[in-house]
Chains A and B, each alone.
Chain A
Amino acid sequence: MINDLLFMNGYGVYVWSSFVFTLLSFASLYVIIKIQFLKEKKKFIMKYGALTPKRASFAKSQRIIKEILSNTSNI
């Protein structure tokens, strides 16, 4: 049963290699996009932290900034 699933009448190597390639592509894409996202978020936190209190309160009043800040604990 397991052998049948693995070898698939000789087509197993083609099916499983395609499956692995797709899985690796998905994982790489996810990791790359996630890293880009975290990098930008980190940059935002640093820039926001460097603002003067007056500018920070003005920036904080904007909706999108509020949403980004709500997902960060280190500010």
Chain B
Amino acid sequence: MIAKSFAPSGFIFNIIALVTGAIWGKPTWGTWWAWDARITSMLILALFYFMYLLAWRVYEDREKVFKITSIITILGIINVPIIKYSVDWWNTLHQPASINILSESSIHSSMLFPLMIMTAAFTLFSLLIFLMKYNTELIKIKNKGLDRL
């Protein structure tokens, strides 16, 4: 239920990253889209999110939906380190990681500070959506419980 409640915000954040990345790619790289490792792996993640959300809508049988969403989640998790290290493993349009915990970050403070504020804002929004969705799922369970009374 936690994964199901976090999925909508994850999917929307993924779409935002792809679309705004494409918008920003035009002036910086001269193209809206490139089959670059980072962008392609992000697109694959968006497809996993889409399949995950679709599975919950399509299948009625809970046993079946649990199995299918578990498989999608496991495959999606494998993709996460690929996204993270895609800029190091392959030659891409993206620069390597700008923020490092163990070594010195290459990002300028004029960009780091707004980035931190926006990260906090996205996290709080995601939390809000999670709580609303989680509450909805709880009421759904209770509705089924009332049917059985």
Contact = CB atoms under 8 A, between A and B. Distances in A.
Interface of A: 10-11, 14, 17-18, 21-22, 25-26, 28-30, 32-34, 36-37, 40-41, 43-44, 47-48, 51, 55, 58-59, 64-65, 68
Contact of B143 (A21, A36, A44): A44
Interface residues of B, number: 27
Given A25-B12, A25-B16, A29-B9, A18 B139 contact: no
Contact of A29 (B8, B20, B138, B140): B8
B8 to A, nearest CB: 6
Contacts of A44: 139, 142-143, 146
Contact of B132 (A28, A34, A48): A34
B129 interface: yes
> DSSP majority for the A interface?
helix
Please name the 6 residue pairs, one residue from A and one from B, whose CB atoms are nearest each other, closest first: A18-B20, A40-B139, A37-B136, A47-B146, A29-B12, A33-B132
Given A14-B27, A25-B15, A51-B146, 8 more contacts: A18-B23, A25-B12, A26-B12, A28-B12, A33-B132, A37-B135, A40-B136, A47-B147
Interface of B: 8-9, 12, 15-16, 19-20, 23-24, 26-27, 125, 128-129, 132-133, 135-136, 138-140, 142-143, 145-147, 149
